[in-house]
Amino acid sequence: MKQILLRTPATTANVGPGYDIFALALKEPYDEIYLSLNTTGKITIEIEGGHQNIPADIQDNTAGLALIELFKRYKSGHGIHVRITKRMISGAGLGTTGAAASAAVYGACNLLELTLSNNEMIDIARLGEVASGGSPHADNVAAALLGGFTLIKCYKPLEVLKLNIPEIPVVLAVIRKGQRTTRGFITYEIGEEKLKEQIARCSAVIHALHCNDIAEFGKAINVDHIAEPVRGAAIPKYKETKAKILEAGAWGCTISGGGSSIIAFCDINHQNQIASLMEKEFSENPLFDSIIKTTTSNQGIVIV
Ligand code: HSE
């Protein structure tokens, strides 16, 4: 029986203005995914650790849905069993659904000896995201698979670019969202001025990363006219706390992926102070889970 154990990282998507386009991988936290081939011809899923009501039905699970697509495209008489060991909180904007989908596709390709390109694997894994947010966005799955900062260069056909970035210290206030997805409330009808600013900020993010200028990177991610106004309104004290986090010396602060976690990028000397500030301001929120101090990472999925 062929088997594989993978570690798949948390990712933070959007990174300010890059809604569904930008994401980056974090060193911690991560989930583990074990896959084994069998002869049943069926895909089965088991969830271990963290009682978070994650569906094990393959049609409702991001890893399951991605594997259905993989098996449809690359016919295989095999069955596969997937065991997801949860170490990350789901439903908090840490990219855990994408991490599972990417790892499932990567692991299955390895076991079945399929030589797919990264773009092909991401294109299949993103279809798994439909089980979570109803949309096949590729940002989280790309960053989980490749690590580093990923940007979608093109959706049709899907083409992803990975940029290696320095290890930037990060503080996360992990807060679960109050509903499964808030994507339905987001609008692209933001008007010409805001649209231009959004595109300008995306350009600034890429330029800052090419120049290794982390202060500029932080400044560029601070504005988002698409997701942040909708999701920020649902997080008590978000706007004023973001201002305090920036005053305390963070380079940048925004909402992580689909929320409601908040991510701040800062130098290592400010990390403890910003962590305390975030804890003080957000820990009364009943959906608050924890504060995580970590860094960005150029490492994507790894075979354990
Ligand atoms: N880009 C996605 C969103 C990431 O903002 O909804 C979360 O899945």
Domain with CATH 3.30.70.890 in the chain: 169-295
- The reply to whether CATH 3.40.47.10 applies to domain 3-164+299-303 is no
Going by alpha carbons, the residue nearest to atom 1 of ligand 1 is: 20
Dihedrals phi, psi of 222, to nearest 5 degrees: -75, -10
Domain with CATH 3.30.230.10 in the chain: 3-164+299-303
Predicted TM-score of the model (pTM): 0.95
Dihedral (CA of 143, 147, 151, 156) sign: negative
139 CB near ligand 1 (under 6 Å)? yes
Give pLDDT tens digits for 44-92: 999 998 667 788 899 999 999 999 999 999 977 889 999 999 999 999 9
Ligand 1 center–CA 39 separation, angstroms: 36
Residue type for position 194: K
Taking residues 260-287, what's their average pLDDT?
97
Taking residues 163-190, what's their average pLDDT?
92
Q: Which of 24, 90, 139 to mutate to test the pocket of ligand 1 (most atoms within 8 A of CB)?
A: 139
Going by alpha carbons, the residue nearest to atom 8 of ligand 1 is: 258
Look at residues 188, 185, 223 and name the one whose alpha carbon lies nearest to residue 203: 223
Give pLDDT tens digits for 217-241: 999 999 999 999 999 999 999 999 9
Q: Which fold has domain 169-295?
A: Alpha-Beta Plaits (3.30.70)
Q: Atom of ligand 1 at shortest distance to CA of 97?
A: 8
Q: Please report which confidence band the pLDDT of residue 174 belongs to, taking 50, 70 and 90 as the band edges.
A: very high
46: Cβ contacts below 8 Å, ≥ 6 apart: 56, 81, 82, 83, 84
What's residue 138's pLDDT? Answer: 97
What's residue 51's pLDDT? Answer: 64
43 CB near ligand 1 (under 6 Å)? no
